[in-house]
Amino acid sequence: MHGTFRLPLMLLALFLTATVAWAAGEREVTIAQGIDAEFLDVQMTNNIVTLIINGAIYDTLLTRDKQLQIVPHLATSWKLVGDKVWEVKLRQGVKFHNGEPFDANAVKFSAERIQRADFKSPQKGWFGTLDRVEIVDPFTVRLHTKTPDPAMPARMTLMYQMAPKYVAQVGDAQANLKPVGTGPFKFVEWQKNERIVVEANDAHWTGKPAVRRATWRPIPELGARIAALQTGQADIIVNVPPDQMATLQSSKAIRIEKVPSCRIISFTIAQIKGGPLADKRVRQALNHAVDMQAIIDAVLMGNGKRLNSWMPPNVWGYDPSIPLYEYNPKKAKELLAAAGQTNLTLTLQAPNGRWAMDKDIAQAVAGQLTENGIKTTVKVIGEWGAYVRTILDHKTEDIAMSGWCLPSLEPDHWVTPNLKTGEPVSQYANAEVDKLIEQARAEMNADKRKQLYGQLLRVIHDEAPYIFGYQQMDIYGVNTRLKWTPRGDESIRLTEISF
Summarize pLDDT for 315-329 with one digit per residue, the tens.
999 999 999 999 999
Amino acid at 152: M
Q: Which of 258, 260, 368, 241 is nearest to 304 (CA)?
A: 260
Query: Measured between alpha carbons, how far is 470 from 281 in angstroms, rounded to an integer?
Result: 22
Query: Does the pLDDT at position 26 exceed 90?
Result: no
pTM for the complete prediction? 0.84
Query: Measured between alpha carbons, how far is 121 from 163 in angstroms, rounded to an integer?
Result: 17
Query: Does the pLDDT at position 10 exceed 70?
Result: no
What lies within 8 Å, CB to CB, of 94 at 6+ separation is: 59, 74, 101, 102, 182, 205
Query: Measured between alpha carbons, how far is 436 from 457 in angstroms, rounded to an integer?
Result: 10
Summarize pLDDT for 55-111 with one digit per residue, the tens.
999 999 999 999 999 999 999 999 999 999 999 999 999 999 999 999 999 999 999
Confidence of residue 23 (pLDDT cuts 50, 70, 90): very low
Query: Does the pLDDT at position 18 exceed 70?
Result: no
Summarize pLDDT for 281-298 with one digit per residue, the tens.
999 999 999 999 999 999
Query: Measured between alpha carbons, how far is 232 from 18 in angstroms, rounded to an integer?
Result: 20
Give the least confident one: 132-136, 214-218, 225-229, 402-406: 402-406
User: How many CB atoms lie under 10 A from the CB of residue 425?
Assistant: 20
Query: Measured between alpha carbons, how far is 168 from 250 in angstroms, rounded to an integer?
Result: 53
Amino acid at 126: W
Specify the CATH number of the domain 56-168: 3.90.76.10
Q: Which of 68, 40, 65, 79 is nearest to 160 (CA)?
A: 40
Q: What is the pLDDT averaged over residues 432-446?
A: 95
Encode 293-318: b = buried (16+ Cβ within 10 Å), e = exposed. Answer: bebbeebbeebbbebbbbbbeebebb
Query: Measured between alpha carbons, how far is 97 from 119 in angstroms, rounded to an integer?
Result: 23
Residue 11 near residue 18 (C-beta atoms within 8 A): no
Q: What is the pLDDT averaged over residues 355-364?
A: 94
Query: Measured between alpha carbons, how far is 367 from 125 in angstroms, rounded to an integer?
Result: 35
Amino acid at 76: T
SS3 of residue 320 by DSSP? coil
CATH of 28-38+173-259+475-496, one of 3.40.190.10, 3.40.1260.10, 3.40.50.970, 2.60.40.1930: 3.40.190.10
CATH of 261-473, one of 1.10.10.60, 3.40.50.360, 3.30.930.10, 3.10.105.10: 3.10.105.10
Confidence of residue 1 (pLDDT cuts 50, 70, 90): very low
Query: How high is the pLDDT of residue 125?
Result: 82
What lies within 8 Å, CB to CB, of 238 at 6+ separation is: 31, 32, 33, 34, 225, 474, 476, 492
Q: What are the boundaries of each domain within the chain? A: 28-38+173-259+475-496, 56-168, 261-473
Residue 375 near residue 387 (C-beta atoms within 8 A): no
CA angle 35, 26, 10 (to 5 degrees): 135
Query: How high is the pLDDT of residue 20?
Result: 39
How far does CA 463 lie from the centroid of its chain? Answer: 25
DSSP string, 84-132: TEEEEEE-SS-B-TTSPBPSHHHHHHHHHHHH-TTT--TTGGGGTTEEE
Crossing angle (nearest 10°) for helices 431-442 and 446-463 = 160
